[in-house]
Amino acid sequence: MAHVSLKKYSQVRASNIAEMAPYEQINLIFSNIIGRLAATKGFIERKEIEKKGENLSACILLLGALQDALNLEVEQDPSISNNLLALYDYCQRRLVQANVDNDIEIISEVAGIIKEIKEGWDSIPVDQRIPEV
């Protein structure tokens, strides 16, 4: 019975994500990364190596999703997108190193970077969050 409930919950979550505006989807990715990194610190402390690896792998994939979402062909100023692309790549490489070394300091470093980017994302004025059609 619990399995059926979980399956229904997953379907609802997936359909809700598809219905979200792109701004909200990116915000959800940031929140997911931050939450997973916090949990990963606990996994390292408790020596739950499998869960640590799964969480860090998920974070690396989510950073890839952020990279894929960047508009690198913006005519006005592509430097922001290019800088974010490089920063996400840096975070991915650091998380690989954190996984190898079980390094909580690296995880804190990456979490700080993502939190700072999310703060910038959250400061986008509401009227500019919906893309023009």
pLDDT at 3: 47
Q: Of all residues in the chain, what percent are helix, strand and coil, respectively (each to 5)?
A: 80, 0, 20
The pair of three-digit structure tokens given for residue 133, joined into one six-digit string: 């059609």
Cα(5)–Cα(62) distance, rounded to whole angstroms?
26
On whether the CB atoms of residues 85 and 72 are closer than 8 A, the answer is yes
pLDDT in tens, 41-75: 999 999 999 999 999 999 999 999 999 988 777 65
pLDDT in tens, 75-122: 567 788 899 999 999 999 999 999 999 999 999 999 999 999 999 999
Prediction pTM value: 0.82
Which residues, 6+ apart, have CB-to-CB distance to 122 below 8 Å?
27
pLDDT at 15: 55
